[in-house]
Structure 1
Amino acid sequence: MNDNQHSTELGDAQNRDVDRFDDPGLPEHRHRRADSDPAADKRAERQVVILFLISIIGTVASIVAYFVFRPDGTTDGVRISTLSLGLGMAFALLGIGLAAVHWAKTLMNDTEVTEERHEQRTPDAEREIAVQKLSDGAADSGIARRGVLKGAALSALAIFPLTIAVPLVSSVGGDWNVSKFRHTRWDKGTRLAIDPTGRLIKAADVTIGSVFHVIPDATEEERESHAWITEKAKAVVLVVRLDPRDLKEAEDRKDWSHDGIVAYSKICTHVGCPVALYEQQTHHLLCPCHQSTFDIADGAKVVFGPAKRPLPQLPISVDDEGYLVAKSDFHEPVGPSYWERLK
């Protein structure tokens, strides 16, 4: 007997064994206390209502927090504002979620139902039956005869979008000065500092193949301010040192680097993700969000991905003490394109 015959006979034997087992059916249904005790049923309904009320309170608290805890220009102010908004929205969503689960587990019918599988396209008559079952399910949920619960559920669901809509609407007419994207904190003579410690960098610290995440030098007081957070987001830079022989520099940018050290914006020109994955052998810089790839050795030009323009280069040199300094701000806007910049 060959292997194929043996496998076939073994499969037939297994199928015969399966045919010998009777369908065990569903286990005995265990009734919940709320199914037979009106007091327990009423108590479960009150619990669901309370959960929806928690959601409503969370929504109201989120809106109040938005207006009361406005950022005051400090890091602590931003932290408190974000925390209060987040807690309000968390209770708003948590209340709705827990109420829906508790409603389904305690008040809705939990009788097990089985149906045989059919072809995907069922006859029209069975479709009508399915629609009727949906109607029966809605009736079984008891929402029609539980007025308080229905009111709490609808109220929680109706006002929750306000946690998102109020901040959005209140921001209309805000600061739309896009010229801010054209300038950063970098200026002539600004020293390069390691992010986030703020330690200054000397050219001698940067060896071939090494990478530094860099921000403009600033005082400790400046780094604690809310304004600094905004400015830092635009000014983050990646510093890399290559063998000068590997650099392909345009004639008008030959003095933008120092002995193979180049500095480019970390903000991807696609949608603004942080570009920070450097491949030493190819000199390629990868954006982890959408895989845009830039060639650091060739002006950070795009070699792959959806980005449409190179990363802006920061002109650098060294000062009398050997520290790396900026020669100017970026010569073009950083980050992705916007309506005043199509490329």
Structure 2
Amino acid sequence: MYRPLKYKGRGSISNAAGRFEKQSRQDVDDGWGNQDAELPPLNSEVIIDASRSLITYNDSPDIPFDRSINPYRGCEHGCIYCYARPTHAYLGLSPGLDFESRILIKPDAASLLRQELSKPGYRCAPLALGSNTDPYQPLERQHELMRQIVEILAETGHPLSIVTKSALIERDLDLLAPMAAQGLVSVGISITTLDRSLARTLEPRASAPQRRLETLARLSEAGIPTVAMVAPVIPALNDHEMEDIVKAAHAAGAVGAEFILLRLPLEVAELFEEWLRHHFPLKADHVLSLIRQSRGGKAYDPAFHQRLRGSGVYAELIAQRFGLICRRLGLNRSPPELRTDLFRKPHPYGQTSFDFFD
């Protein structure tokens, strides 16, 4: 019998090999053990990422930025739906449990960023942080890579946008609030559900839903423009909460809201279905049917202009509902663009200068 790997605080229930591996493996149970028993805690492993660059550029027509930074590869939050899971296959690791327990970090992220911003041909434009994995995941408490990155961006007057589902971002309010006053930062707080029970299963190591709303409120009170990211909208699982999430975020001070329909690229489709059939066996077929109806009959359609919103009757209904609640609350009025005219090249040796000779 197949035995799900139920580790407390982990999202995936398997660790299947990535798509590039020649061999696969599967855990089985001979029937004598207790399949419902939780396994011992699965500790996270930190791996050094030796990348020689930090800023990643893209020309996608679907997203509003052309460059991003991800100081971590993999994410301890363990969100089963995470579209970044397949990236671990490039490393010879599993998009399943490996993705949320074997995390690559870039300890020299700050020095790499300083070098790249100092290049003669660098053109300033808003940097996106959190576009792939969460920069404020639990490991950030120890390594503070995000803190170091924000310090450099504050020093150089460089605009940035952040997406996170972690209350840890409040630690950096002393840097972000002054930047917001200069028009240099905006923050998106991802809120998938208001149901604590569902959140514990869906995104086990992320901040609780109510805690995220509190974080959104504190950022808003500090003058930081905030957007509620209702992402992902999962058919027949959390779609009924969409209006309530937007209302709660608006009450907490959000100036905008966005939604993304569930995306299941590559290995994520199998991982999500496995999770769904284990935790919600009676709903599984209905959820999967609605997903296929919204993706041209498949688990996922990667086409530009459709991968974030989907297509078909169900996808159109979600978009109409979302647009209606935003209009009722007066959300999504065009905010000022982040400023780029304040950017100045970083000092090659950090904030230290020869001012002490003055």
Give TM-score, length-normalised by structure 1: 0.18
Greater gyration radius: 1
Q: Which has the higher helix share?
A: 1
- Bigger relative contact order, structure 1 or 2, given CA contacts below 8 A and separation 6+? 2
